């Protein structure tokens, strides 16, 4: 005996409707299960508890991130690595759930390595950008549950293209946006974007004209300012002498700036 056809939604009006609108109408968009196990539900709120930034400077692209990892209002770790090397010329900075973001970084690293070894050439920048976008789209189910949101920044250097330094930011659904000067995401990013906008338009130099020490100073000032208003951003821990993680990518590859150099620039130009 044939199965009866699925019943149509009795409330369907025949008008076109996007997916979020359907979830809202069904009462599924704003409510998520309570992760504490307590009775009842709570509103679904996406959180990106960190601050990461990147901008182009005279030597390539500088990417920086604070070191604080939080669980709600609790600081659980103060030396988290949020600026990750994917290949010789690609950096991914993460805002959101670390476990999900680090797994994405591992998948990207293996994908780029497999392509390089099997095709005997580097994957194109467009291919790298779309690969990360697909991982974010595949993760959207966890985002809707409120347990896996990731909003990264991707920086790379391609000597065969113009411009050579490339910088992208993403939303949680995987849409990518290429920027010409700077990008910032995370809970402290509004303050950082304001600082970078000011420096790029009214500072002594454009961001792309800064040397390495000047670029480090701008990044430290931005993260320290974000930390003043956002408890999820670590900034510079003066008592513990913990500094943000800063990497640069250029034609020569990726350089992780030593903590001694960052401390010296902080002392001379920021503190």
> Which residues are tagged catalytic?
50
Q: Going edge to edge, which strands form the sheet with 51-57?
A: 182-186, 51-57, 60-65, 245-250, 253-256
Tell which residue, 267, 235, 259, has the closest CA to residue 68.
235
CB 84 within 8 A of CB 92: yes
Find the angle CA(249)-CA(84)-CA(200) to the nearest 5 degrees: 50
Q: Find tokens 């476990």 and name the residue.
A: 99
Helix (H) or strand (E) holding 74: strand 74-77
CB 104 within 8 A of CB 135: yes
Residue 22, number of CB atoms within 10 A of its CB: 13
Tokens describing residue 263 = 């401390």
Phi and psi, residue 133, nearest 5°: -60, -40
Three-state DSSP state, 25: helix
What number of CA atoms fall less than 13 Å from residue 49's CA on the CB side?
20
Q: Find tokens 């182009």 and name the residue.
A: 56
């Amino acid at each position: 005996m044939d199965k009866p056809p699925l019943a149509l939604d009795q409330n369907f009006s025949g008008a076109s409707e996007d997916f979020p609108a359907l979830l809202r109408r069904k009462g599924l968009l704003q409510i998520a299960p309570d992760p504490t196990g307590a009775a009842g539900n709570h509103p679904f709120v996406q959180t990106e508890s960190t601050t990461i930034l990147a901008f182009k400077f005279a030597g390539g692209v500088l990417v920086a991130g604070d070191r604080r990892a939080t669980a709600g209002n609790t600081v659980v770790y103060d030396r988290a690595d949020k600026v990750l090397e994917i290949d010789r010329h690609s950096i991914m900075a993460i805002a959101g759930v670390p476990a999900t973001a680090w797994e994405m970084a591992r998948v990207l690293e293996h994908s780029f390595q497999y392509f390089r070894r099997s095709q005997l050439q580097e994957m194109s920048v467009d291919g790298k950008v779309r690969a990360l976008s697909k991982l974010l789209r595949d993760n959207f189910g966890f985002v809707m549950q409120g347990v896996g949101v990731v909003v990264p920044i991707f920086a790379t250097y391609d000597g065969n293209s113009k411009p050579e330094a490339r910088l992208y930011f993403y939303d949680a659904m995987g849409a990518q946006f290429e920027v010409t000067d700077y990008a910032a995401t995370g809970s402290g990013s509004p303050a950082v974007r304001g600082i970078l906008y000011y420096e790029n338009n009214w500072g002594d130099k454009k961001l792309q004209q800064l040397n390495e020490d000047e670029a480090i100073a701008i990044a430290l000032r931005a993260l320290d300012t974000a930390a003043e208003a956002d408890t999820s951003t670590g900034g510079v821990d003066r008592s513990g002498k913990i500094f943000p993680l800063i990497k640069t990518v250029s034609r020569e590859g990726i350089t992780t700036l030593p903590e001694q150099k960052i401390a010296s620039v902080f002392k001379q130009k920021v503190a």
